[in-house]
Structures are given as C-alpha cells and as structure tokens.
Amino acid sequence: MVMKIPNVDINLPHGRTVANRLISSLDASGVLELEHGPEIYDLLRAVSSVLSAFPEDPSDFVGATVAEASALLLRTVVIRLKESEVDDSQIGRHVRNLFECLGMGEEGARLAIEVGEDPASPLRPYSEN
C-alpha cells in the first residue's frame, strides 16, 4: 500500500490563523515555558506577522516566495519542538495544517508525525494508490 499525500494550494490567510492556533496550543501545553519556548514563540510570531500582510492570497510568485520563507522558519520550529521532546497530536496536526497552507502538504505530513501526530489519524488527508 502506497499512501499519496497531496500538496494543496497556498492559502496564506488561513496559514496565519493556523500559526496563531499553534501558538495557543503550545502555550496551553506548557511548551513555551521549556528551554526553546521563547525561540519557538518568536519564530511562530514572525510567521504569523508575515502571513498577516496577506488578507487575500497574492500572485503565485509572491505567494510561493512568502510560503518558502515561512516554511524555513517553521522547519526551525519543528527542530526545536523535537529537541524539546514534544509529542502532542494536536500540535502535530497544527504543524501539518500550517505546511498545507504553505502548499507543502507532503512535508507537513512527514514533520507532523515527528512532533506527535498519529500517523493513523483519520484527520490526515491522504489517499491510497
């Protein structure tokens, strides 16, 4: 069985919403109090701030550029979450969803598992081929 995880269209406005949800979940779970918490918070606030500049999706070129810059910051967040030994399904779902909003669903699906999303979760959008 091969699982195919679709990449989705870039959706920067919803990405901002998801980034803020991720910050709230990290705060509620106490992760922001850990050693890397302040850095994680600052990185996610930067992502949210950049995405806030786009109440509507921009041109393909600008959208792809902003998505790649945001993904670079988000990859660092994932590294810090792993270093902090975060293993939380909700946080993993937010990570996956944020990468999906950046048009990088496959990468998000992989990284979400690394920070706690259950690979068998019915919320994971993949299809069998």
Q: What is the pLDDT of residues 89-108, one digit of tens each?
A: 999 999 999 999 999 998 99
Q: So what's the pLDDT on residue 126?
A: 57
pLDDT given at position 3? 45
* Type of residue at 53: A
| All residues at 6 or more sequence positions from 70 whose CB lies less than 8 Å from its CB, including other chains | 15, 47, 50, 51, 102
pLDDT value of residue 101: 96
- Tally of structural domains, the chain: 1
Q: What is the pTM of this model?
A: 0.90
Contact (Cβ atoms closer than 8 angstroms) between residue 88 and residue 116 = yes
**Residue 121 pLDDT:** 84
Q: Which domain holds residue 122?
A: 3-128
How confident is the model at residue 1, as a pLDDT?
36
Of 113, 94, 91, nearest in space to 102 by CA: 94
Which residues of the chain have a pLDDT value below 70? 1-7, 126-129
Beta bridge partners of 128: 3
Supply the DSSP string of 4-54, one letter for each residue: E-------HHHHHHHHHHHHHHHHHTTGGGSTTHHHHHHHHHHHHHHHHT-
pLDDT at 120: 87
